[in-house]
Structures are given as C-alpha cells and as structure tokens.
Amino acid sequence: MEKHVMQYQTVHFNLNGRAVERTVDVRASLTDMLRNDFRITSVKKGCEVGECGACNVLIDGEAFNSCIYLAVWAEGKRIRTLEGLLGPNGELSDIQQAFVDEAAIQCGFCTPGFILTAVEILESGREYTDAELRKLLSGHLCRCTGYENILRAVKKTMYRRLGKTVD
C-alpha cells in the first residue's frame, strides 16, 4: 500500500458571516471540516456521495452537498449553514419557523439541508409554481414527510416574502 504523505493546508473562508481559518488535512471533505473542526451539527451525513442532500450548505449563495466538496475548496468562499440563519437571540428565521408551523419536520435529519436549499430559492426573489418548487427541492430525500408539508412551508414563505396573500 502506498503511503499517504500527510498534507495540511490552511483554509480561509467566511462561515456564517465570520471570517475563519483552519488548517485541515487536504483529504477532508467540507462535511468533515464543518462537523469535526467547527462542530456544526446541522450538516448531516446521510449517504456521503451526494444523493441525499442532508449535508447541504450554501457556498456563495448556491446549494452544494458538502460531502462531495473538498474542504480546501472552501478557500475564499462564503459558506452558510443552518446555524447562520438564527437571529442573535436564537430566533428562527422565517423559513425555519415555517418548517415548524407546517409540521414539515419529523425525524429532523433532512431538515437542515432542505431549509438551506429553500433559502437559495427564496433569495432569488422569484415566484415559482409548485412544479418548479418541486424540481428546485428535488436534490433532497426525505423518508418521513412525503415532502408535502415541506412544499407548504417553502411556498408559504415564498408568498410572504413576495408580499402576497397566503392561501
């Protein structure tokens, strides 16, 4: 077996609005770094191959599965996790609150990933049809909810942000 030459690299990036740096093993995934070095518990491991969406984070505003993203690629990036959505006193953001209100949370394991994709959707400022929302959210698997209440939560928050009446 060929021996791995230990390689470390210092990565500088913005995590939830704060400039951070860490020296990481170049073999680490972004999931590894966020969970192990920053103890970010909202980033979950469900498949580790980019199929379930539980490890989703926002990088420069776009959703990525952090399990198949090398930690060193975070250099210079702006990374947001669910923790970054909370207010200074622990207040839930509107989309988090909508997940609570619509009973869109059951076991909770897919929840953080879904909410971050919802943030990307909502920040586009656009209005989407149900079919479009389903497609935009389709990179996440959930086994508890049948997706139904997740759709309701995202849709209601979208309408609220657009200043439209919620049905």
Partner 1 sequence: MYDMKALYQAQSVSDAVALRQTHPEAHIIAGGSDVLVQMREGKRAGVELISIYGLDELRGVSLEEDGTIRIGSLTSFSHITRDPIIQQYINVLGEAVDQVGGPQIRNIGTIGGNTCNGVTSADSASTLHAYDAIVELTGPDGVRRQPISEFYIRAGKVDIREGELQTAILIPKESYADTFGHYIKYAMRNAMDIATLGTSVNVRLSADKKTVERVRVAFGVAGPVPLRAKTAEALAAGKPVSMELTEAFSQAVKEDINPRDSWRAAKDFRLHIAVESARRAFIESVKLAGGEL
Partner 2 sequence: MSKSVGKSVTRVDAYEKAAGRAKYMDDLCDRSALVAKICHSTIAHGYVKSIDVTAAEAVPGVVRVLTCFDVPQIPFPTAGHPWSTDPHHQDVADRLLLNRHIRYYGDEVAVVIAEDEVSAAQGIRALRVEYEELPFVLDVQKAMEDGAPQLHGKYPHNILAHTDIRRGDYEAARKEPGLIKVEGWYDTPTVQHCHIENHGCFAYEEAGRVVVVTSTQIPHIIRRVVGQALGIPWGKVRIVKPYIGGGFGNKQDALYEPLCAWCSTQVGGRLVKLECSREETFVSNRVRHAIRTHIISYVRPDGTLVARKFEAFSNQGAYASHGHGIVAKGMGAFPQLYPCDNLECDSWTVFTNRPSAGAMRGYGIPQAMFAGESHIDDICKAIGMTPLAFRRKNLMPVGYVDGFSKNELYTDTFNQCMEKGMAAIDYCRKFEEYQNQTGPVRKGIGLAVFWYNTAVWPISLESSSCRMVLNQDGSLQFQTGETEIGQGCDTAYSQMVADAVGVPLSDVHVVSTQDTDVTPFGTGAYASRQTYIGGFSIMQTAVALRERILNIAHEQTRMPVGNLDLVDGQIVHKSDGRVLKSLGDLATESLYSLEHSQHITAETTAQIKSNAYSFGCSFAEVEVDIPMCKVKLLNIINVHDCGTLINPALAEAQVHGGMSMAIGYGLSEELKFDEKTGKPLNNNLLDYKLSTFMDHPALQAAFVENPEPTSPYGTKALGEPPACSPAPAIRNAILQATGVAIDCCPITPHVLYRQFKEAGLIKD
Q: Of 16, 55, 22, which Cα lies nearest the Cα of 37?
A: 22
Q: Which residue has the tokens 């879904």?
A: 114
Q: Where are the alpha helices (DSSP H) in 5-51?
A: 30-32
* 52 touches partner 2 by CB under 8 A: yes
Reading the block at residue 91, the tokens are: 């207040």
Rg (CA), the chain: 17
Spatial neighbors of 31 by CB under 8 A, at least 6 apart, are: 43, 45, 48, 55, 66, 67, 69
- Contact pattern for partner 2 over residues 10 through 49, marking x by CB under 8 A: -----------------x-------xx---xxx-xxxxxx
Interacting positions 81-120 with partner 2 (CB under 8 A): 81-83, 86, 90, 92, 96-97, 99-101, 103-112, 115
DSSP characters for 56-110? Answer: EEEETTEEEEGGGSBGGGGTT-EEE-GGGGS-TTSPPPHHHHHHHHTT--SS-SS
Member of 20, 141, 144, 151 binding partner 1 (CB under 8 A): 141
* 143 touches partner 1 by CB under 8 A: no
Q: Tell me how crowded residue 6 is: count the other CB atoms within 10 A of its CB.
A: 8
Q: In this complex, which beta carbon is closest to partner 2, that of residue 72 or of residue 142?
A: 142
The one of partner 2, partner 1, none whose footprint includes residue 117, by CB under 5 to 8 A per kind, is partner 1
Q: Of the listed pieces 79-87, 130-138, 148-156, 157-165, which binds partner 1 according to CB under 8 A?
A: 130-138
Q: In the complex, which residues of this chain contact partner 2 (CB under 8 A)?
A: 1, 3-4, 27, 35-36, 40-42, 44-49, 51-52, 54, 81-83, 86, 90, 92, 96-97, 99-101, 103-112, 115, 130, 134-135, 137-138, 140-151
Q: In the complex, which residues of this chain contact partner 1 (CB under 8 A)?
A: 1-5, 7, 25-29, 32, 48-51, 53, 56, 62-65, 68-70, 72-73, 75, 117, 135-141
